[in-house]
Amino acid sequence: MAERLNGGAVRWFPQAGADDITVAGGKGANLAVMARAGLPVPRGFVATTAVYRNLADSSQIRETIGKLDAIDSDDTDALAPLAAQLRSLIESREFGASIEAAVADAVSSFESAGSFAVRSSATAEDLPSASFAGQHETFLGVASEDILDRVRDCMASLFTDRAVAYRARNGIAHADAEMAVVVQPMVDAAAAGVLFTADPVTGNRHVSSVDASFGLGESIVAGEVTPDHALVDERTDEVLEYTVGTKTVAVELHRGSTGNGGTRAVEPEKTRTAEKDGTRRVELPPDRRESRVLTDDQLRTLVGLGERAESLLGAPQDIEWALADGQFVLLQSRPITSLFPCPSPAPVDDRLHVYVSMGHMQAMPEAMPPLVRDVWRTYTGNALSTAGLDVSLGNPTVEAGGRVYIDVTLFLRDTDTQSWLIERIAAVNKPISAGLEDIVSRQPDEFESRGVTIGALPGYVVTAWRLARLIGPAVPRIGRNVLGALAGRGTIPDESWASISELFLGGVTAGPTTEARARAVFEAIDIGRILREVYPRISPLFLAFALDGWLKRKFPDHPEDVNAIGRGFERDVVTRINLGLGDLANVAREHPPVATAIRDGASLAALKDVEGGGRFLKALETFLDEFGHRGTGEIDLSRPRWREDPSMLLAVVRANLADEASGDHRERIRRLEDEAELAAARLEGRADHGLLGPLRRRYVRWLIRTYRDTIYLREYPKQEAARAFTAWRTALLDAGEALVAAGHLDQQGDVWYLHRDELFDALDGAHVDVDIAARRREHARHIEFDAPPVLTSEGEAIRSHTEREMVPEGALVGTGVSSGVVEGVARVIRDPSTATVESGEILVAPSTDPGWTPLFLNAAGLVSEVGGAVSHGALVAREYGLPAVVSVPEATKRIRTGQRIRIDGISGTIEVLDGQPATGDGEHV
């Protein structure tokens, strides 16, 4: 054992095996790869994972690690004590004699080294999907006689609380993780810092970001200085930006000291300086504090080294560097795991492409599993193919970070369509529109039209002809319905509207076999029939949206009245949902035992045995017959619908029983209707001036009446389309059940982690070798990403927001979509199926689709991270008279449950009244 360990305890960077992550850990392996390729990596060695295994070779340690693996990843209270016990057990162990000799021999080969850097290098760190940055120990300025002790401390740090929680969250078994340790002489740096080979702020893969300060890089890590910051275009070597920071101190080698245990350099809050360590902090003279650290030529040299490292390691890198004796050295390198993924597939031409998030346009920006993404990419491609647009566009959808994005580059490359697209999107989602405007203004050369080639002309002609044939038959009916609405004959939804969902079904419900029904989900949609049957029926809604814009322009100083006339519709789908839930609460009130049981948290199953419970359950069944196909995140077919899980509805009824009296919900609608009539009268009165005043008054009255007779139709198309989505979900779940029975899947829900072709192959009986667990973990990582609404093919996340005047200091800014000002306690909710809003609270949510509708019953206002003027949350807020601000970046992180906030639905601002907005994750339920 001793001989084998002596041979494997130490590996020098150029040695064979040093680039093996299972031997040298992530940090050591990356350094070995760079050193072998000739990059300037200081000479060093790795105390390998064999040393860790020897140190941890204890039945008590193995047993404790086993207990750690058995704990649920969310049970942090249980993880921490076991992690502390493991650290203590490892720190109390001694190295074998052969290991001590191997490390001592390696250290003695550095004849002139005064002190050393000792860095943790775990096998589960510095991976493309998990970096573990700052979660394991690093020591600087370590004396040679203390290296073994620091190696032991690094190995014990495999079980820091943060590392243990991070592994658990990422599905990495603690028993599979091992630790190696990198040892190098300290570099006497004149300057040091961090190089990102992709811009970590925007995600642009062609822009490198550099932070630099004088002395060792520890002053940057510890947050003691504001470093210089530079951006460099890797393709042109242009220094795009250089900002000189204020550098009050520098960390230097403590010359003349032999060092002792070293300076711990891991997390800023844990950094400390021992009295006799190998480093010291010195104050910089005033003339150096504002001086520039790196020249342009030095920046270009450093960025060139970073490009080589990225090419070698296969992903954008976060590199720690130092400048010593006029030469750069690379101290460590890890993948940048925080970057939002680049769109896939990449464009086939060499030009910049711009993509818009389908989820943001639908106010549902969350990640979706592979099969759901395939459904929507196939649907989009089939729709365009049916319309003939595939001749020039192909399938314009791509994937990125578990989301579907739509390529809008073709429209941006033409001046006319560029303006048209940006203006139209502005009416729906201002941040997306502003993002598009930002990118085309910054890089106009990328969006210059290069003309239509002779070879492409036939394709455009065919496309135009097919579109004309599809749209032509619908035009007369659209015209008649619009004129009918203007004449006071608005469309009244009836049972025939259910045919809308039938247009999306095809053979999904009629297919003779499970396989046929699953395949039908991906078959072409009859776009011509949709245009002919659906668009004429909903055409009065287009008129309503036009009138909404006209009223806002006509009465710009009276947004409250314009909003008010769009409220109080008992026939509106959203209103019907909430009225139905209020009626359910009334049924419970009529049977006190039922009301008591619901208040006490009884389940639906338990209500069966409660006096009056049968009546309540029957009323609930009636509600589900009409709305049970709705749910949260409806475009994500993997999410359950209300009929499958009505527990959220029961929570809403519980809140209604606590906060409202019988009939309050219907009284609220009557009050809103009265307010709408009063607002209409005021707007008519403002038009009644001058010689033509009476005519203008009647004109405005006519348009308001037309508006109110049509605007309530807005949610009906989605109500019916959602029935089809539920049928799609059922067909795919049935396929999953069949694959479980055939032994291809372990559980029904695994079907969502297959791709379309894998699903079809499996249904055909072929063996599909898919790591479902890995795809689940990937999906979990995608969920954590804050997806940008606009993304480029270079990976740049475009997040442009219109500047506002007179914004209160510290206020969060979004888009005001429902007027009014309200103060209240914030309730941050990410999952409406697990929480509800108490009366008077302001709902703060990542997004709001119809599945969130019940939470509006008690809310006093709305703040949402995504959305626009016609998104679901905005429409519901206006309907209920709630001030609302949407498109507020990181609202659920920067606002905490329980904070008192003020939202202004006109200016689009949110003020936190009791403390500053948070910078990390907000408390949420």
- What are the catalytic residues? 872
Shortest CA distance to 118 belongs to which of 272, 263, 219, 224? Answer: 263
Two tokens at 153?
């401390």
Greatest C-alpha distance within the chain: 107
> CB of 121 within 8 A of CB of 180?
yes
* Three-class secondary structure assignment of 469-525: HHHHHHHHHHHHHHHHHHCCCCCCCCHHHHHHHHHHHCCCCCCCCHHHHHHHHCCCC
Rounded CA separation 630/719 (Å): 8
Length of the chain: 925
What number of other Cβ atoms are within 10 A of residue 319's Cβ? 26
> CB of 816 within 8 A of CB of 911?
no
Specify which residues 886 forms β-bridges with.
815
Rounded CA separation 479/511 (Å): 37
Q: Residue written as tokens 């989009």?
A: 380
What number of other Cβ atoms are within 10 A of residue 592's Cβ? 11
Distances (CA, A) of 332 to 14, 326, 535: 15, 19, 59
Two tokens at 333?
């390198």
10 Å CB burial of residue 764 (0-12, 13-18, 19+) is exposed
| Helix H or strand E segment including 574 | helix 573-590
Shortest CA distance to 177 belongs to which of 193, 195, 159, 194? Answer: 159
The amino acid present at 435, given as its one-letter code, is G
Shortest CA distance to 891 belongs to which of 854, 922, 853? Answer: 922
Two tokens at 277?
């360590």
Four-point Cα dihedral 887, 888, 890, 895, nearest 10: -140
What number of other Cβ atoms are within 10 A of residue 586's Cβ? 21
Specify which residues 209 forms β-bridges with.
196, 231
Shortest CA distance to 864 belongs to which of 849, 884, 886? Answer: 886
Residues 6 or more apart from 57 whose CB is under 8 A from it? Answer: none
Which stretches of 388-495 are DSSP H helices? 390-393, 409-412, 415-428, 430-442, 457-471, 475-486
The amino acid present at 296, given as its one-letter code, is D
Q: Residue written as tokens 């003349």?
A: 256
Rounded CA separation 135/658 (Å): 45
